[in-house]
Structure 1
Amino acid sequence: MSDNKPITFKLTEDYIELIKLLKFVGICQTGGQAKLAVENGMVTVDGEVESRKRRKLRSGMRVEIEGQIVNVV
């Protein structure tokens, strides 16, 4: 999956919750998959493993899961 091009996600509000972002951009098919990915330590936010499923992501933050990068703008 590391050959994937970074995804740019444009916020329409002040923030988006982590599991919602993972579903919205298509990295995870369901909320359950997104929750498991976070619980299993597969997701980093700004380079650090994130354990909060509902972490509020704001403009300028970077999410990575299995080599796929999502830049929040």
Structure 2
Amino acid sequence: MSEISAPQPLPIRDESIRLGQALKLAALVEDGAMARDVVQEGLVEVNGEVETRRGRQLRDGDVVEFNGEAIVVEAGQG
């Protein structure tokens, strides 16, 4: 298993963001189609658990890991 980097902050305006949108906003994927594919393939973890729902609502403090990189949602910051 590869080493995960320290989570980078992902400030968002609202109280929540969908997983697919967060992956795009953080530039971890190129587009929505790629976000769908990597989530459905079980390659994305939210708070340490594999998440296969692209529409999963992320809230303040949620940590998303993909491809050796991690982001932490900071709601109400954007």
The structure-2 alpha-carbon separation of the partners of 1:67 and 1:54, relative to structure 1 and needing over 3 Å to count, comes to: same
Q: Distance in 2 between the 1:2 and 1:53 partners?
A: 24
Matched, 1:20 2:32: no
- Tell me, which stretches of 5 or more residues in structure 2 are unaligned? none
| 4+ runs deviating over 2 angstroms | 1-6
Distance 2:63 2:4 in 1: 17
User: Root-mean-square deviation (CA), in Å?
Assistant: 1.6
Report the Cα offset of residue 11 of structure 1: 2.0
Post-superposition offset of 1:67: 1.2
- Provide, for residues 35-59 of structure 1, a one-character-per-residue CA deviation record: whole Å limited to 9, x for no partner: 0000010000000000111000000
The residue number in structure 2 matching 1:44 is 45
Identity %: 33
Equivalent in the alignment of 2:65: 64
Letter in 1 for 2:19: L
- Structure 1 length-normalised TM: 0.90
Q: 1:46 to 1:2 in 2, by over 3 A?
A: same
Q: 1:66, CA displacement in angstroms?
A: 1.4
In structure 2, what residue type is equivalent to 1:12? R
Residue 20 of structure 2 aligns with an amino acid whose one-letter code is I
C-alpha distance in 2 between matches for 1:61 and 1:3: 15
Runs (5+) with no aligned partner, structure 1: none
For 1:23 and 1:53, the matched residues in 2 are separated by 11
